[in-house]
Amino acid sequence: MALMLALSLPIAYLLAFRVGRWELPLLLLLVVADELNPLIRVYAWRMLLGRDGILNSFFQLVGLVQHPIAILLFSKFAVVLVMSMEFLTYTMIPIYAALKTVDPSLLEAANDLGSRFPVTLRKVLIPLAAPGIFVAIILVGIPMLTEFVTPALVGGTSAYMIGNSIEDQILESGNWGVGAAMSFLMLVISAVLALVAYRVGKLNRLETAT
């Protein structure tokens, strides 16, 4: 989630303030690319990251490595990378929508007052984009809690997540009671996460209004 937020903030900022007339085409391109079937995207990543995949073949061709890099696939790294790319658009769009409500003159005023961009980002953009950030956490964080297909396909046995455990309890072991209890626990965690995000977002709006 932290990685997706770190990637989404600059992308949303560029779309909202910097790309001009390319804003809508680029946004539509991101949305259309994300509409591909999730399984197709995951298998595309396997072709890209595998021992005989595109990346390893390229690295060997240019002489960067002598042997394929095994960590690129069937590892925690692969799970984090693929899941981040899988949910990136859903993380970026709420932040982009929040930034579109920001008056560009605020950024110009900060620049005129000598504020460097990192300071403007921390004290102006992030607080004003906070509602979008909290929506992204709800929209993306909750589905990630129960994700099991991506870890199984690109993580192997080294990236066993809670969703995989629930799947095994119900489909493999037949422990419907345990699986149902774990699912209910995830539902409670999701509800708490949504409530906290809502409360924090509400407080931010009240502070902004004040």
Structural domains of the chain, with CATH: 2-209 (1.10.3720.10)
Q: What is the DSSP letter of 171?
A: I
- The answer to whether the CB of 133 falls within 8 A of the CB of 204 is no
Res 99: pLDDT: 92
Estimate the share of the chain in helix, then strand, then coil, as percent rounded to the nearest 5: 80, 0, 20
The answer on pLDDT for 197 being more than 80 is: no
Identify the H or E element spanning 180: helix 176-209
What is the C-alpha separation between 67 and 115, in angstroms, rounded? 48
The percentage of residues in the chain with a pLDDT greater than 90, rounded to a whole number, is 27
Contact 144, 193 (CB under 8 A): no
The answer to whether 87 and 4 have CB atoms below 8 angstroms apart is yes
Q: What is the pLDDT of residues 81-122, one digit of tens each?
A: 999 999 999 999 999 999 998 888 888 888 888 888 888 888
pLDDT, position 200 = 65
CA distances from 119 to 13, 107, 115, 116 (A): 15, 11, 6, 5
d(CA 14, CA 115): 19
Does 157 score more than 80 pLDDT? Answer: no
